[in-house]
Structure 1
Amino acid sequence: MKSIKLLAMAAVFVFGQSDGQKNSKSEKMNDTKQHYTFHLSDQVTRQKVTFKNRYGIILSGDLYLPKNISREKLPALAISGPFGAVKEQSSGLYANEMAQKGFAVIAFDPSYTGESGGEPRNIASSDINTEDFSAAVDFLGLQKNVDRSKIGIIGICGFGGFALNATAVDKRVKAVATTSMYDIPRVASKGYYDKVTLEERTKTLEQMSQQRWKDAETGVTAPGPRSNAEKLKGDEPQFVKDYFDYYRTPRGFHERSINSNGAWKATSGFSLMNMPILTYIKEISPRPVLIIAGENAHSRYFSEDIYKAASEPKELMIIPNAVHVDLYDRLDKIPFDKLQRFFNENLK
């Protein structure tokens, strides 16, 4: 019974809310779709850009550049996440902060989400979401004001796992950092703390397999239930309440965010559950890894496990009294000075 509950909680953030709600459109919490959940620094410029990944999907990003920097060539960062979020949320906030510190930074929407291309919408893929980071590196390396020998990446939440996976294979990436990291394929396949049994996993895959017949018959890839409930019942785990406080309130709500206002497709788990990532985590070495997690984050064990698995040089930084979503947007919790030092030291 305990493993079933763990699977259900994992499904909330990978396949959608388990309470059976329909994917109804939420009330607008913002005036326009161009809303950002943070204020653009007056020391930074922001420009909308597009670029194409290796599968031909056109990705949408925001390029943040520092003003009044005399260097002809800048070190650069690619940032994405959290899983189910958009660039106007956490990744954009990170880009805004890191650009102030002298980096050219692109925050981008992954394939099939936000303003990026790909059909059907709201689908995740172990391979394609890893590729999205390499495509962002492609883009940065073509910019005249970027030193392509000095490119790093930051992955937030589920895109922390994909950032590490991309770094393992893409040797152009000189350093990688993650915050509140999730290994999405792991939790999709095994639930929290790997408690899901083979029988439970098989049942989930059988349901998705049958859903594919329905999708094939109708020609429409059906959505799963909403990714976050309209209202809390009050008896949810604290981390569920924390997610709600970010995605479903003015603090972090965005109309295009799956976690704020939508649902993953019902069959989105097919790739995630069949294609694990981080198999080659040790091959990031000798390039450095910085892993940052909240002391009280429900996801902390992902970061600790990856830290153990990775080769040197590596560092695990635990933020006191922080929960998972604190590292999405709490400027007093996110260690931006540490991130600046890490990339300044390693993008050489």
Structure 2
Amino acid sequence: MLKKIGKNKKMVLAALVAGVMSFGIMGSDVTLAATPAKTLATASQMQRSSISELNNDTRVFKIDKSIEAKNVKFENRFGFEVAGHLYLPKNFDASKQYKAVVISGPFGAVKEQSSGLYAQEFAKHGYVAVAFDPSTTGESSGSRRNMGSPEIFTEDYHAAVDFVSNLKFVNPDQVGAMGICGLSGMAITAAGSDSRIKAVATSAMYDMSESISDHYNGAYYTPKQREIVKQHLAKMRNEEARTGKAIRGAHELGVDAKGNVETFDTMFPDKLPADANPVIQDFFGYYVGRAFHPRAINSNKLAWDSVTPYGFFDFKLMSNLDELGNTPVMLITGDKAHSKYFSDNVYAAIKGAKEEIVVPGATHVDLYDQMDKIPFDKLFAFFDKNLK
């Protein structure tokens, strides 16, 4: 934090004031704050963005105090204000240009959890990194809260690239993207159409379009069950249109033996039964246990908006893999991850430069925050090589 600026910070501060960044300093030595729109319009293409001090720090992983983190906000093309944390490299020098990476995920998490941990590690390696909350979630805007959308969440990646590419201390030709768990599909999709993204990586990948519309391994719904689920969604949506009141609901819906749709209002109960599925126990231990955060859908008494499934039935995230062309892709999974098949399938389908890392002994959730399991050395080597 820039609570106090010592002698070794004065040159950085002077550069910031002079406009080396796309944002100004408000105050003599304390805060990075939003610059008036007129100033931003002449200094950056990002006319509605800001950087400010991270005063109320609620991150749930071990903080490295040598890495400065700032609040940032930027707008996507749909008009949502995306909230993120900007991580600056150790011994940050505003007169230099750094490589950068934009990161989000998992699905239902916030930037104070796994994506922030990854961003901090990238900053320790010498990168500028932005971890962000997808639109409608966390601290990002959206009058309709917790509404998942493959298109909007993909656009959030494009907007994050807008933001970092217009920072004076970032080389716009050295920008990468990373998705964790359910935001992996959006990161890959964004990389397929956005030539500014020079490389893309995923960790513990989930294809949310398949997960929501077909469920696990594409084998959950029969055609009859799919029709039952779609009828349920139509009924809920019609009820909302008639009453004007949003209905809380799950993003994944089950169908029991009698043909009834199974729903739930929260992601997890207060306490799991002793015989709970090991995968559920793993998720519970992270979101409700060691990484609980009140703004995370998966942690708190929240659920995705009831019409969230519509977007994932409508749009298949992995349908445009050929658009990646020669953009390098790295897929990280664990040999004990229930989600491994997502990475396997995408790896097999990609025709261009690709690499799959299978971590021995790692479960899906291990790749969220277990430092002895996440192969950061290989991740950094991948981006170092491809962000040239």
TM more than 0.5: yes
Letter in 1 for 2:197: V
1:87 Cα deviation from its structure 2 partner? 0.2
| 1:33-48 correspondence runs (5 A) | 34-48=57-71
Could you tell me which of 230, 247, 270 is aligned with 2:287?
Answer: 247
Counterpart for residue 202 of structure 1: 227
Runs of 4+ in structure 1 off by over 2 angstroms are: none
Letter in 1 for 2:58: H
Cα-to-partner distance string for 1:120-165 (whole Å, 9 max, x where unaligned): 1010111111111010000001101000000001100011111101
User: Partner of 1:229: helix, strand, or coil?
Assistant: coil
1:283 Cα deviation from its structure 2 partner? 2.1
Could you tell me which of 75, 87, 96 is aligned with 1:52?
Answer: 75
Q: Separation in 2 of the partners of 1:110 and 1:193? A: 25
| 1:150 and 2:153 aligned | no
User: Partner of 2:276: helix, strand, or coil?
Assistant: coil
1:285 Cα deviation from its structure 2 partner? 2.5
| 1:330 and 2:370 aligned | yes
Q: Separation in 1 of the partners of 2:332 and 2:66? A: 26
| 1:65-144 correspondence runs (5 A) | 65-69=88-92, 72-144=96-168
Q: CA RMSD in A?
A: 1.3
Q: Separation in 2 of the partners of 1:95 and 1:40? A: 11
| 1:62 and 2:85 aligned | yes
User: Partner of 1:280: helix, strand, or coil?
Assistant: helix
Counterpart for residue 317 of structure 2: 277
User: Partner of 2:171: helix, strand, or coil?
Assistant: strand
User: Partner of 1:59: helix, strand, or coil?
Assistant: strand
Q: Separation in 1 of the partners of 2:285 and 2:313? A: 28
Q: Separation in 2 of the partners of 1:236 and 1:213? A: 35
The alignment covers a number of residue pairs equal to 316
Q: Separation in 2 of the partners of 1:34 and 1:208? A: 38
Letter in 1 for 2:243: T
Q: Separation in 1 of the partners of 2:308 and 2:157? A: 20
Letter in 2 for 1:188: I
Q: Separation in 1 of the partners of 2:57 and 2:294? A: 9
Q: Separation in 2 of the partners of 1:229 and 1:151? A: 40
Q: Separation in 2 of the partners of 1:307 and 1:130? A: 20
1:49 Cα deviation from its structure 2 partner? 0.6
Q: Separation in 2 of the partners of 1:115 and 1:286? A: 35
User: Partner of 2:212: helix, strand, or coil?
Assistant: helix
Q: Separation in 1 of the partners of 2:346 and 2:66? A: 35
| 1:156-305 correspondence runs (5 A) | 156-195=180-219, 196-224=221-249, 225-249=265-289, 251-261=290-300, 262-305=302-345
- Which blocks of at least 5 consecutive residues in structure 2 are unaligned? 1-54, 250-264
1:69 Cα deviation from its structure 2 partner? 4.4
User: Partner of 1:64: helix, strand, or coil?
Assistant: strand
More off after superposition, 108-117 vs 213-222? 213-222
More off after superposition, 88-97 vs 60-69? 60-69
- Which blocks of at least 5 consecutive residues in structure 1 are unaligned? 1-31
Letter in 2 for 1:140: V
Q: Separation in 1 of the partners of 2:183 and 2:215? A: 17
Higher relative contact order (CA 8 A, sep 6+): 1
Q: Separation in 2 of the partners of 1:33 and 1:247? A: 20
Q: Separation in 2 of the partners of 1:214 and 1:117? A: 25
Cα-to-partner distance string for 1:275-301 (whole Å, 9 max, x where unaligned): 111211122131110000011000000
Q: Separation in 2 of the partners of 1:48 and 1:274? A: 34
Cα-to-partner distance string for 1:77-111 (whole Å, 9 max, x where unaligned): 00000000000000000001110000000000001
1:33 Cα deviation from its structure 2 partner? 7.5
Q: Separation in 2 of the partners of 1:202 and 1:118? A: 30
- Greater C-alpha Rg: 2
Q: Separation in 1 of the partners of 2:315 and 2:228? A: 18
More off after superposition, 223-232 vs 166-175? 223-232
1:312 Cα deviation from its structure 2 partner? 2.5
Could you tell me which of 342, 349, 356 is aligned with 1:309?
Answer: 349
TM-score if structure 1 supplies the norm length? 0.89
Letter in 2 for 1:248: V
Cα-to-partner distance string for 1:208-240 (whole Å, 9 max, x where unaligned): 110112212221211111012211112222111
User: Partner of 2:317: helix, strand, or coil?
Assistant: coil
